[in-house]
Chains A and B, each alone.
Chain A
Amino acid sequence: MKREIKSQMKSRTSWIVAAAVVALLSGCGMKKPQEADVLNVEARTPSGLPVAALEWRMITSGIDRHDREHGTMTMLTGNDVAVKYAGSGIYPAGSELALTTWLERDDPHWFGARIPGTFVSLETVEVKNGPDGKPAAEYHRYEGNPAHEVKDATNANSRKTYLLGMTASEMP
């Protein structure tokens, strides 16, 4: 486990060095920007996730800065049913929500902006018809790279309520 973290850190450092080199070179107009300069490679979502959350439509986003070194950024996306009802106070069966969380990183192109950095977690809520015919919501949480499910019985209920209670961003 320790080795895994270490190697993750190592690969992160090498990306930063690579990005710096790219920035220097492109500043001199010598070389075209490299992949890590135009694509946010660091924020790639891991394999092993049950849903492709970013294939769904955006509902809202959020920022948490309690940990000042690594604030987090979240995006709530949903399938077509969920998007239609997000924030209405009602979710019909068939609604699926996904909350993706990243650590924030400084935007290399804009001082004053932060963008998604390393992936932290994916949380999902699915509204299904239960065996009794009543709809019920199921919550799951995934972490790591490759991603694996993390069972967290203490927080599962409050997180489920939190996700279901998130209101959609104001849209024109």
Chain B
Amino acid sequence: MRAVWKWIGIVAVIGIAMQLVRPRIGNPPVTAELQAPPEVQSILKNSCYDCHSNETRLKWFDQVAPGYWLVAHDVKEARRHLNFSEIAKLPAAQQRGALFEAVNMIRLGAMPLPQYQAMHPGTAVTPEQLAVLEKYLAPFAETDSVSAAPTPNATQAPAPENTVRLVNDAPQPASGKMSIQTILPELNGFAYPAGWETWKTISATDRGDNHTLRMILGNEIAVKAIAEKKINPWPDGAAFAKVAWQAAPDDNGGLKPGKFIQVEFMAKDASRYAKTDGWGWGRWRGMDLKPYGKDAHFVEECTNCHAPVKGNDFVYTMPLEK
């Protein structure tokens, strides 16, 4: 009996001592809150603000260590990634991108964090609330200046005659390509996959959220895996290139790829890239192909965003069936 009391005493002392270690959460001033309609804001306040704002409200049980340590860590990470109290200082396009990412994390069941939902009933985003957020974001809205263009019939708008000459033989056109030697590797050491231009198209996306058109290409191993339907998990050696262009108006009231924005890669090697979900990640921006990111930590952006599709081996793209 005495031994039991002794142990209870020890646990109580440790428990109280743990309370003394309190990383600060605090609520810094709200400097640039998201501007959105009240119905949108109330959903975000109810489900996101405890972590993704400077208006964190802790329940009593959130404040008891060791749980408190986890809460403090989550709030710090959440604010660093997306802070609705400071988001309005970002450029409009970046704010829009952050909101789309947020809605997609909700849709994919990644947010609010399941452990947070379990401890805080009523914070789950309901389908009705999700519909409100989606309606607000309206990625393919009528007001889209490009798609609101006049409506000629594509088949009756031929290019001027003789703009293309058909010839028996022609000299090779000059290539404006950058020499591979001058393209730097990514900041995590991931090398630029030379020759990806010859990979095969496996899908394309029309991105209303950020007005880009994208093509997804796969290397030989990836294309073979698609044909054999062995893509979950993808085999080692499979790689994708996703190329993004600004969506630009074409001559028929539609959209075509305009300015080249970036090319990004995923390359599978379960052991080599074990620390980053089995994939190597890289992104090169602009016609001068500058490696993306400030330092090697850029890869966390990739893995965080792809985490919700873990069940698909971290791949968002659904390749066209062969």
Contact = CB atoms under 8 A, between A and B. Distances in A.
Interface in A29-56: 29, 32-33, 35, 37-41, 43-45, 54-55
Interface in A145-164: 155, 157-159, 161-162, 164
Contacts of A131: none
Contacts of B14: none
Nearest to A92: B170
Contact of A113 (B201, B205, B255): B205
B4 interface: no
Contact of A66 (B151, B159, B210, B231): B151
Contacts of B215: 58, 61, 75, 169
Given A109-B318, A136-B166, A165-B163, A73 B287 contact: no
B107 interface: yes
Label chain A's interface by main secondary structure: mixed
A59 B26 CA distance: 53
B311 A33 contact: yes
Interface residues of B, number: 81
A60 interface: yes
Contacts of B33: none
A57 B157 CA distance: 26
B208 interface: yes
A5 B145 CA distance: 34
A35 B226 CA distance: 11
A54 B201 contact: yes
A77 interface: yes
Contact of A114 (B172, B205, B250): B205
B134 to A, nearest CB: 6
Interface string B124-139: 0000000000100101
A114 B208 contact: yes
A165 B208 CA distance: 26
B204 A35 contact: no
B167 to A, nearest CB: 5
6 contacts: A109-B316, A111-B137, A112-B103, A116-B204, A161-B158, A172-B260
